[in-house]
Each structure stands twice: as C-alpha cells, then as structure tokens.
Structure 1
Amino acid sequence: MANNNVVSLLVCFVALSLATSAADRELVNAVYVFGDSLVDVGNNNYLPAPAPKATPPYGMDLPGRLTGRFTNGYNLADVISQRLGFETSPKPFLSMGRSERTLLGRCKIGANFASGGSGILDTTGNGTLTMRTQIKYFKRVADKLFCYPSKWDRLARSFFLLSGGGNDFWAFNASIDTPNAYIARMVSTYIEKSRYIYMLYDAGLRMVGILDVPLIGCTPGSRAGTPTSECNSAANSLAQGFNSLLRTELTSAATANMTELKYSIASNYNIISDMIANSLVAGLREVQTACCGAGRFKAEVMCSGPNTTACPTGEHGEYMFWDMLHPTQATCERGAVAIFYGDVPKYAEPVNFATLVGEEGCSLQMADDE
C-alpha cells in the first residue's frame, strides 16, 4: 500500500504546479543561500581548478548559458526561491558586477554564496568556497548594508537557506575519527556559539531554513560502490546520526543564545526515502540509475566526463537522480512541495517552510499510515 504522505504529496505537487509560486508575491525581502552543490548556482564557475564545475550537459534544460547548477535544470535553491515568490535563486555572489553589488548593498536583492563540493568542515572540498569563507563574504556585505528602514529590519525579513554535511561524509576517514566524534564536530562547527549559524545570527539572520543530509547511501554512486547494488547502510547511518544531533543541538542553541531565531530543518532524508519507497506514486520511474553518466548505474563517471551520456530529454522528469549524486529538477520540485507544505515533523520541524514564512498553502498534515 502506498505511503499516504506520498500520495498527498503528489496531489499537492500537481495542484501547486498549476498555480503560480507564492501567490505572485515575494514572501520575504531577499534570499541568501549558503552551502554545497545542492544549492550552488554558479559560484564554482568563477573559481580556478580544482573546484568542480557543472559544465554541459549539466544545465541542459536551461539552455543558452552555463548555469553552474549540478543538475539538468533548476536546483533546490531555485525551487525554494520560486516558492518564496522569486524567479530563481539569487545570483552567485562571485558573478556580481558593480551594479549588482550596489543593489545587494542596499538590500534590494539577495545572493547565493554556495559552492559545489564544500562542506561544513574546512577540510572538506578541494578548491571550493568553504562554509566559513561563504559566511565571511556575507559578513563583509552585511557590515556595509545601507537599507531602509534599517538593515536589521530588512535582514530579519529575509530568508536564509543552508545546505551542508553530505560532502563531509564522503571525506570521512574511519582511521582518524569515530563516527560519533566526527558527527559531533560537524554539528558543533555548524551551530555552536561563535560558529557558523551563530555568526549569521550575529550579522542579522533571524529566519533560516536548513536542509538536512539526504539519503546519501542510496545515491547511484553509493549503489555502484556496493557489491549487492543495494543502498550503503553505513553512509545512511552517518546521515541519520548527524540529522538527529543537529535537531537536538539547534534547539538548545536557539533557546540559549539565539532567542529571536525562527527556523525550520527540512528532512531531505525522509523526503528522498519516501520517494524511493513509493517512486511511481511520486511520479518517478527510475530511482536507482542516474540519468547522466557512465558505467554501473551510470554512476562511475561524473556527468560531463569522458564517454558519458544523458537519458533522452523527454525522460528527465522521470528520473530521481541526474548524476551519481545530485537530484533532477523534477525531484527538487517535488521535494520543495514537501519542505514547504509537508507533514511536521516528518518532512520539516519544528515547522515547515510555509509556516516559517507565514504562507498558507496546500496542507499535507495527515493521520498515521494504515
């Protein structure tokens, strides 16, 4: 029997897809994005090697420009921004010219600081903008903001989106750290006083949506690395451990040191898990093999690498994964509906994104599955 949450998610997705995003209005003043390749919209295009770059066929469903997105079309930063009433994610910070920097400094627009390959820890990523660097760039901007009626008011009514942690687990070395110690270090770096989220709070953040670590053991790349072709349970266990501790520690940190903070932690983990378990109900035909790549599960060579191919254009919306790691635009769109309107606490907690920003929308609150 199909999961009732997923059935209602699909109904809600169809209804909302026929409507305009966020009722034709911007629900927040601006959007500021930090994190990894799930939300990078092109900062890595402006970094020298070895920073990974999303060259074609990445972005092939957004023709006419090098999009810098590690998917076929729009990514999570885009579809979340669209639900908030914007056309797409704000532009990559490193791409901004003088006129755009002026608009940014006057609180007229937001910015995307994310960098594909980065993580929560400084040691994660090779040539990318670390989370620390991303926040340092934002703080430089925030220190010089000139806004009406005040920068504090404008920032308090802006939406901050954070995505991190998945790449850190690909860098995990069991010969150096125990899983629990590594997870604790990641969480403390993310939210402890004087660390990343607190640094943003001190600079003006008051409303934040955080994407937890998804089901990393069930990506095509993880399946290709197991002899049974099944999900990597050890990788999923790491993600679950991080996600659980993140929720506990952020609740404590907000109560103790960030009393004006409003937040929602979106469960990428549960959303992807339910979509895999009920793939046809979710409108996805293929949830194991990537659309673009080469080798086993099309996941042994990164999309755009030598001898890689993409599935036919008409099938892009039927695949969960674009490449060995990243979701398709179709998956992002379905996931955003769950993040905004999904069951609490299964898909987001302590509130979903719609409640966080004060939007009324399609409700997915339901009784337990039979």
Structure 2
Amino acid sequence: MGKSWWWVIAALFMVALQQIAEGYQQLPCYFIFGDSLADNGNNNFLDTLAKVNYAPYGIDFPFGPTGRFTNGRTTVDVIAELLGFQNFIPPFATASGTDILFGVNYASGSAGIRNETGQQLGERVPLDMQLEHHQTTILDLVDILGTTWATEWYLSRCLYSVGMGNNDYLNNYFLPEYYNTSKEYTLQQFTQLLIQQYTQQLKTLYDYGARKIALFGVGQIGCTPGSIEKYGTNGSTCVEIMEEASQLFNKKLKSVVEELNANLTDAKFIYINYYAIGADSSVLNFKDSSSGCCPVAIDGECIANQIPCKNRTEFAFWDSYHPTEAVNKFIGERSYSALEPSDAYPFDISHLVLLNLQDAAYK
C-alpha cells in the first residue's frame, strides 16, 4: 500500500469525524436500488411512459419536477436526510465526479426483479442492470480512491437500500394482456421464482462490497386507487389477490434476510416492513385515500400541467399508484427509527448504520 493511500484514509477519517461531531452524515455513502418509489430522475432520459419530469410532479420539492413520482420527497430522500446527508443522493443518470463518494441512486420507474417486468411501458432499468450500473460506479470509485482495497473498505461502511417486487406483480403477473406469467405459474410458484432470483441478485450486491443492506418489502399494491379501479374489490377494501401477493412475497423476503444473515456473517441485512408501515399511515387521518391528488391519465400518472389538490397533506396518494410526500415522510421516519417491533427486522436503519461489523457479537 502506497503512502498516498494513507493520506486518503486519514483525510476520510478526518472528514467523517468532523461530520459526526457537527451532526452531519452518519456514514460515508448511501446506494439506492429500486423502482418508481425511489426513482429520482433515472427514467428521464429513457424512451418510456414511466417518467414524470413535468409539473405537477415535484410541486412541493425544492427543485420542482425532477423525475420523482410524487409531489415532494421520496422515502429514500427522507432517509438520506435522517442520515445527515446535506444533499439528495444523485441519480446514476447524472451522477459524476466526486459526487459518487456520497452514493448513487439507481432506481427506475416500472423496473422489477425480472428483466421483462414493465416492458409494456418502454425502457426501464431492471435490477440486473442496476447492479451493472453499480459496477460502473465501483470502477469510478477505484479511480478516485486509488486502490481496490481502499474502495472495498469504503463501500463496506456505506448503507445500501433495495426495494423491488412491486412491479413484478403490478406490471407483470397481474397484467395477463401483456405477460404469460399468471398462465404459466400459480401465485405461489411465481413468488418463489421472484424470491430465488432476488436472493441471487442480493448475493451479487454482497459480492460487489455491500455489507449494510436494508430491504424494503412490497407495499399494499392492492389498495392503490389504480388497482382498485382496474380490478375492483368485490366488496372488499382492497384487491384481495394482490394483497395476498404482497404478504406472500414479504413473508418469504423476511426469511431471505434470516438466510443471508446466517450465511454471510460479515454483512447485515434488515427487512423494512413497508406494507405494515404504509398501512399505519392511516393514523395521519387522511381525508382521501381512495383517489390521487392530481388529475390522472389512463396510465394512472398525473396529466401534465394540470392543477392538483391544494390540501396535499390530506391525501395518501399523489397519483393512482404513488404515495404523497406525507406518506413517504411517515414511512421514511419509521424505517429509520422503528416505532413498532414489526416495523423492521431484526432492527431498523438507525441501528444498522451504527453497526460495527468487525464486532464478533454480530457475526
């Protein structure tokens, strides 16, 4: 190891210590993988219907429309703020230079665990490709930090969050007019296939250096205004078969967390119960949870430049499928610091980021 690297190590430690002392970042970087719930602009440059870089999206965001599928901040934006980051994590599509030292957001609207998911909407970045993009980032980090060892050391101290699976149901299994999966597999079989592929993808992320990984479960996909309008509920509150899919996936994902923690002892995976936390957001006493805040087109996204509702904090949904900033804030805060034991397993993000993985007690 050359002397120059020791200067880099020393500088990083000094920056980290200063930021901790000033109440800033709790860890050096945050890498985000996911779908439209986390996308902050990666789809803007793609040929797809799943992009929202126009008003009224972003009406409550400091920089206006950015490609976020909501009126303001996403859940991962809220988490980044709670972690002490002074700036939002940049999308891979525009991240450059030393900005990547703080992390990169690879999330893509309509993307899924399976590569074909969302293809009826156009281009998207499925999880396999998001992992390839992370490889590119790692090579850039090696150039910045000087050595592979230095990069591995750096990445091992970062937070990774992954939230996939929603679109594999919404934009695959439950769209028989575009996909054959529901004809080829029972719901149980399809979910098991998803979990098997997802597990391999998570192991790949581990192989790339991730050691602190938060996995977000699938949300209440059967309770969105778009799902209810499209499929009906037969007198129930939500589309029951879609809710069954969410709960089945989440149960299996929690087991994956246990398996990975048992086998990859120098890493820690946690499960964030997005479904239950989202359901608990009803304590915010929304006046309307049955429709979106903005006028929507046939695809469920806001119609460009139409005026949305004024009382946005009183709505659970922004458009037909995506929550408002009020819900995102609620979920982000509960993901970071659990209010109920069921919010996170085995613990929440605030405990994950402080974990010393060199401590044998956690191996």
TM range (shorter): 0.7 to 0.9
Superposed CA offset, 1:6-56 (max 9, x none): xxxxxxxxxxxxxxx998310111011111000000000121235533422
Query: What number of residue pairs does the alignment pair up?
Result: 319
Superposed CA offset, 1:252-289 (max 9, x none): 13322x221112211110012222xxx3x325332222
Alignment-derived partner of residue 122 in structure 1: 115
Question: Is contact 1:224-1:300 (8 Å) kept?
Answer: no
* Pair 1:330-2:326 in alignment: yes
Alignment-derived partner of residue 183 in structure 2: 175
Alignment-derived partner of residue 243 in structure 2: 236
Superposed CA offset, 1:270-325 (max 9, x none): 012222xxx3x32533222211134xxxx85523337965111xx11111111111
Instruction: Report deviation, 1:336.
Output: 1.4
Amino acid at match of 1:155: L
Alignment-derived partner of residue 195 in structure 2: 187
Equivalent in 330, 334, 348 of residue 352 of structure 1: 348
Superposed CA offset, 1:318-366 (max 9, x none): 111111111111111111121122245411111111111129xxxxxxx
Alignment-derived partner of residue 226 in structure 2: 221
Structure with greater helix percent? 2
Alignment-derived partner of residue 17 in structure 1: none
Alignment-derived partner of residue 291 in structure 1: 293
- SS of the counterpart of 1:336? helix
Amino acid at match of 2:105: N
Question: Is contact 2:295-2:302 (8 Å) kept?
Answer: yes
Unaligned runs of 5+ in 1: 1-20, 360-370
**Relative to structure 1, is the Cα distance of residues 208 and 130 closer, same or farther in structure 2, using a 3 angstrom cutoff?**
same
TM-score by length of 2: 0.81
**Relative to structure 1, is the Cα distance of residues 345 and 23 closer, same or farther in structure 2, using a 3 angstrom cutoff?**
farther
Superposed CA offset, 1:41-73 (max 9, x none): 000012123553342211111255431100001
**Relative to structure 1, is the Cα distance of residues 64 and 346 closer, same or farther in structure 2, using a 3 angstrom cutoff?**
closer
CA distance in 2, matches of 1:253, 1:66: 38
CA-based RMSD: 2.4
TM-score by length of 1: 0.80
Identical-pair percentage: 30
**Relative to structure 1, is the Cα distance of residues 350 and 185 closer, same or farther in structure 2, using a 3 angstrom cutoff?**
same
- SS of the counterpart of 2:291? coil
Superposed CA offset, 1:218-237 (max 9, x none): 11112223154731111010
Amino acid at match of 2:345: E
Matches within 5 A, 1:355-366: 355-358=351-354
* Pair 1:206-2:175 in alignment: no
* Pair 1:316-2:312 in alignment: yes
* Pair 1:339-2:335 in alignment: yes
Amino acid at match of 1:154: Y
**Relative to structure 1, is the Cα distance of residues 220 and 139 closer, same or farther in structure 2, using a 3 angstrom cutoff?**
same
